[in-house]
């Protein structure tokens, strides 16, 4: 698989254990052509310093803000601020957890770059996606596919090539 087809999603908590080492490793992964997304932004250890220290390819706004956006002025203000921050840093923002047309309309109005959630599509088993023709796997069967294992506790990545 070409590296530009892979996007690695990390939460800031996975970076904080050893920030300098983690950012060094992420830069090496990025040099390979892999995209790096900052996942669950706005929760936990969200830090503007992390955005400044590393050129992420995407910010994924946590779904918790979307669940409250239609009833909470604070959630709406935070979403607007994160979208403005993404535009200022030239980092696309993806909003997670879109479940209503109202949420999608707000994001469209505010200029959100990407969205995901049950309103747009539900998860399906891999075999169902392959059977429908939406995805073609390389190899004879599922056992010959590549699997990526990410261990957040030490941010190690191992690419395991399975063979029958």
CA distance 29 to 61: 22
Asked about 156 being catalytic, the answer comes back as no
> Rounded to the nearest 5 degrees, what angle is found at the Cα of 131, between the Cα atoms of 125 and 136?
95
Task: Tell me if 92 sits within 8 A of 58, measured CB to CB.
Answer: yes
Phi, psi of 74 (to 5 degrees): -65, -45
Out of 96, 99, 110, 153, the active site residue is: 96
DSSP 94: E
60 alpha-carbon distance from chain centroid = 5
CA distance 136 to 147: 16
Phi, psi of 126 (to 5 degrees): -55, -45
Q: Give the active site residues.
A: 96
């Amino acid at each position: 698989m070409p590296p530009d087809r892979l996007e690695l999603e990390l939460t800031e908590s996975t970076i904080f254990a050893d920030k300098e080492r983690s950012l060094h490793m992420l830069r090496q992964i990025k040099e390979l052509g892999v995209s790096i997304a900052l996942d669950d932004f706005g929760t936990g250890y969200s830090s503007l310093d992390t955005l400044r220290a590393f050129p992420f390819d995407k910010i994924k706004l946590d779904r918790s803000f979307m669940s409250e956006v239609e009833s909470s002025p604070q959630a709406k203000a935070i979403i607007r601020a994160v979208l403005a921050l993404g535009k200022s840093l030239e980092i696309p923002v993806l909003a997670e957890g879109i479940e209503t047309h109202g949420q999608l309309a707000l994001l469209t109005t505010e200029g959100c770059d990407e969205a995901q959630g049950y309103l747009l599509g539900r998860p399906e088993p891999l075999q169902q996606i392959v059977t429908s023709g939406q995805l073609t796997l390389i190899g004879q069967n599922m056992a010959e596919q590549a699997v990526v294992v990410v261990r957040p506790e030490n941010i190690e990545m191992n690419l395991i090539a399975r063979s029958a």
